Amino acid sequence: GYPAEIKMDIDRLYEAVPQLSKMFLIEDKIGEGTFSSVYLASAQLKSGLIEKFALKHLIPTSHPVRIAAELQCLAIAGGQDNVMGVKSCFRKDDHVVIVMPYLEHVSFLDLLGSMRLEEVCKYMFNLLKALRRIHHFGIIHRDIKPSNFLYNGHLKKYALVDFGLAQGTPDTEINLLKVVKTEEQQGSGSRCKPTTSSGNKVFHTITINKPLAQQTTGKQPIKRPGPLLQPKHGKEEYLNLSTQRSVFGERSLNVCCAGYFEGLGIKPGKSMKTTDIASRKIITAKRKISTKGTTSGLVRKPTICPSHLTCDCFMTDKVCNVCLSRRQQVAPRAGTPGFRAPEVLMKCPQQTSAIDMWSAGVVFLSLLSARYPFFKASDDLTALTQIMTIRGSKETLQAAKSFGKTVLCSKESPALDLRTLCERLRGTDSMRKKTFNQNIEVLNCSHLNQGILCNSDFKSIERSPDTKGWDRVPDLAYDLLDKLLDLNPATRITAEKALQHPFFEGL
Amino acid sequence: ATRYRTKAGRLKKPFIKVEDITRYYRPFYHQFDCYPEINYHGPNPCSPFDVEKKNKSGDKQNKGKTRSKHHEMSCSEKNRRMERKIMETLKEKKKRGYCECCTVKYDDLKAHLKSEQHKTFSQSTEFNVVDQITSQFDCDFEEFPKVKMKRVKCSV
């Protein structure tokens, strides 16, 4: 039933957007996500050339402003420096199809097993080039991962794709992302602005009244988070507050709202997994209410615990009805589990393009260790703990402090040496020792003693196809990895700086 | 001391707790049944944080013998099966969702798209913002009937 199903999908797409049938031969369905399906099609250009294209059919429930923002990212930042561009766009009513050049690519899992060190170096260089490009335009991609970075080894072509989760920096050059940004600022911290402070016309048109939808945090969204995936019914009555909110809040912010909780006692071994997803607007409303000291109607026992009270649980292993009754902090967390930066996992409201750099670091970690996915967690705090076992608990605590978070962990874990970690995981640790010693005997080369690889060494790597260079990974690779996986977003290396890193010398 | 009755509990180890230093927000925490640990012995390309429940039972069968190629197969196969399962559940769940345009939750995507509210939105000027950007792309596609013929041929 597989090909027949695809054929049906193709026919339905022709039907939904009839203009397509005049120009495209849709050959296959090559991707399906929660918010879009991607098809492979060919078309003839006026020049006579027949080319292949990727047709991205967005789910018809997507808000036009979100669609337009994605188009704007592709149109302004795309088409250069390994960033996917846009060829055209077709629409009929709510059906929008974005036409992009097609790049045939290999799956990351297949790449992992076959890539030479030199190829990994180029792959990272090209990913960073794409990141420099989008960050230059003030785009935070939010979903950097191998499946969004297409690679064709034969053509030596790369393409960063999918701006469906993108967010703008305060000075973004993508106008429509400013709409998203306005929303972020609204939701962040105490700098809560009234809706009317925004002069953005579009923003007002997309602000609407809506009851809340929510989702358990236990099940991680694959992509755009929010109630799109698993709207959870039943608990709504506690949160069924009609307030102004925005469509962007629904998807780009997967917000946990502690509107209520079951009982006040702590059930051992059972964490509160039933935190709900709400919009920032709701939280904004709640905050206003709670700071006035009135009951919001959202908290089950509002009279016992006004949320401005402090308790003695801070930085201890305790929680009580006072601290647990406070509102949950709102921060963007759209993206893919395992690629979220620590500041995202810890709900830091001010997030920068540094979150993409962390994700690039996770990709690099996968490439060096030959493990994918590297992190595997069903919730944000498990993901954070996995990071801590790699980067160290003390180090994580210290970095967290720099962005305003305290972390208490019952277990201490030391920061690991990245080389040792990656080589053990890849299984090249014993191999390296052997060849390293041999090399020392043969060549008494100073840079080898330091473990640094220079261009002449790359040539020798090519001559030893068995190891693909993995027996001689330069220290510079792990130095760059260390800088990408910097726990502190303020000091984490930028794409611009990373491209100048000596690991890429000669590229 | 507060006038309010406070009920406090101690988190069960192992746990992790994160709180904003402003103390304005609810702390969030996780109590682990199984604290994450790096598993160096899992086969490539499995995550070093893969909880090897299946492998453990496999080990019991093999009396804890060496990880063979068979194991590697089962791991990537497991991954693939997982991926497929996720895709399938996504497909099922896809029918349910949230419409950003109408700002309503729906149980049946098709039915919602046919609803009066959504139809009205989809034919409204709301999409001007999309059309405005689209109009800037120059469309140099050839409209050729040959392609259509091909398609018919293909689908037979």
Asked if residue A40 lies in contact with residue A99, where contact means CB atoms within 8 angstroms, the answer is: no
Residue A50 shares a structural domain with residue A143: no
Instruction: Give pLDDT, residue B96.
Output: 86
Asked if residue A14 lies in contact with residue A26, where contact means CB atoms within 8 angstroms, the answer is: yes
User: Does residue A161 sit at the B interface (CB-CB below 8 Å)?
Assistant: no
Instruction: Give pLDDT, residue A379.
Output: 94
Q: Is A483 a known ligand-binding residue? A: no
pLDDT tens track for A56-108 = 999 999 999 999 999 999 999 999 999 999 999 999 999 999 999 999 999 99
CATH number, domain of A45, equals 3.30.200.20
**Arithmetic mean of pLDDT over chain A:** 76
pLDDT tens track for A24-50 = 999 999 999 888 999 999 999 999 999
Q: Is the pLDDT of residue A54 over 80?
A: yes
Residue A401 shares a structural domain with residue A488: yes
pLDDT band at B86 (very low <50, low <70, confident <90, very high): low
Residue A372 shares a structural domain with residue A478: yes
Q: How long, in residues, is chain B?
A: 156
Residue A419 lies in a domain: yes
Selection from B1, B31, B3 nearest residue A319 by Cα: B31
- Show the tokens assigned to A46: 């006026």
Residue A179 shares a structural domain with residue A57: no
Residue A143 annotated as catalytic: yes
pLDDT band at A184 (very low <50, low <70, confident <90, very high): very low
Residue A35 shares a structural domain with residue A74: yes
Task: Provide, rounded to the nearest whole percent, the portion of chain A with pLDDT above 70.
Answer: 67
Q: Where is mean pLDDT largest: A30-34, A253-257, A438-442? A: A30-34
pLDDT band at A390 (very low <50, low <70, confident <90, very high): very high
Selected residue with higher pLDDT from A328 and A250: A328
Please give, one letter per residue, the 3-state secondary structure of A266-320. Answer: CCCCCCCCCCEEECHHHHHHHHHHHHCCCCCCCCCCCCCCCCCCCCCCCCCCEEE
Residue A123 lies in a domain: yes
Residue A371 lies in a domain: yes
Q: Is A303 exposed, middle or buried (0-12, 13-18, 19+ CB in 10 A)?
A: exposed
Nearest to A385 among B9, B36, B134 (CB): B36
Average pLDDT over residues B70-83: 57
CATH number, domain of A412, equals 1.10.510.10
Nearest to B140 among A46, A94, A312 (CB): A46
Residues 21-80 of B with CB under 8 A from A: 21-33, 35-38, 40, 44-50, 76, 79
Instruction: Give pLDDT, residue A442.
Output: 47
pLDDT tens track for A479-488 = 999 999 999 9
Q: Is the pLDDT of residue B145 over 70?
A: no
Q: Is the pLDDT of residue B149 over 80?
A: no
Q: Is the pLDDT of residue A445 over 50?
A: no
Which one of B2, B41, B47 makes the best mutation probe of the A interface by having the most chain A beta carbons within 10 Å?
A: B47
Average pLDDT over residues A344-363: 98
Asked which of A103, A136, A168 is the last residue of a domain, the reply is A103
**Which residue is catalytic, options A143, A162, A356, A379?**
A143
- Provide the domain count of chain A: 2
Residue A336 shares a structural domain with residue A421: yes
Q: Is the pLDDT of residue A183 over 90?
A: no
Q: Is the pLDDT of residue A187 over 80?
A: no
Residue A489 shares a structural domain with residue A371: yes
Residue A411 shares a structural domain with residue A391: yes
Residue A341 lies in a domain: yes
Residue A51 shares a structural domain with residue A143: no
List of residues 6+ apart from B68 with CB closer than 8 A: none
Residue A359 lies in a domain: yes
Q: Where is mean pLDDT largest: A296-310, A319-333, A399-413? A: A399-413
Asked which of A70, A103, A136 is the last residue of a domain, the reply is A103
User: Does residue B156 sit at the A interface (CB-CB below 8 Å)?
Assistant: no
pLDDT band at A253 (very low <50, low <70, confident <90, very high): very low
Instruction: Give pLDDT, residue A261.
Output: 32
User: What residue spans of chain B are helical by DSSP H?
Assistant: 53-61, 69-94, 109-114, 116-122, 128-134, 145-155
Residue A406 shares a structural domain with residue A495: yes
- Show the tokens assigned to A101: 């050049």
Backbone angles phi, psi at B30, to 5 degrees: -145, 130
Average pLDDT over residues A436-442: 51
The boundaries of the domain holding residue A60 are 26-103
Instruction: Give pLDDT, residue A285.
Output: 27
Residue A19 lies in a domain: no
Candidate from A385-389, B72-76, B106-110 with smallest mean pLDDT: B72-76
Q: Is A52 exposed, middle or buried (0-12, 13-18, 19+ CB in 10 A)?
A: middle
Average pLDDT over residues B87-107: 80
Asked which of A103, A135, A156 is the last residue of a domain, the reply is A103
Name every chain A residue with its beta carbon within 8 A of the beta carbon of B109.
Answer: 61
Task: Provide, rounded to the nearest whole percent, the portion of chain B with pLDDT above 90.
Answer: 53
Contact A319 B29 (CB under 8 A): yes
Beta pairing partners, B24: none
Q: Is the pLDDT of residue B9 over 50?
A: yes
**A117: enclosing H helix or E strand:** helix A117-136
Q: Is the pLDDT of residue B105 over 90?
A: yes
pLDDT band at B116 (very low <50, low <70, confident <90, very high): very high
What number of C-beta contacts closer than 8 Å exist between A and B?
Answer: 321
Residue A48 shares a structural domain with residue A179: no
Instruction: Give pLDDT, residue B134.
Output: 96
Amino acid present at A93? D
**How many angstroms separate the CA atoms of A62 and A122, rounded?**
36
State the maximum Cα–Cα separation within chain B, in Å, rounded to a whole number.
83
pLDDT tens track for A189-241 = 333 333 333 333 333 333 323 332 222 222 333 334 332 222 333 333 222 22
pLDDT band at B7 (very low <50, low <70, confident <90, very high): confident
Name every chain A residue with its beta carbon within 8 A of the beta carbon of B132.
Answer: 68
Residue A323 lies in a domain: no
Instruction: Give pLDDT, residue A296.
Output: 34
Residue A311 lies in a domain: no
Residue A112 shares a structural domain with residue A99: no
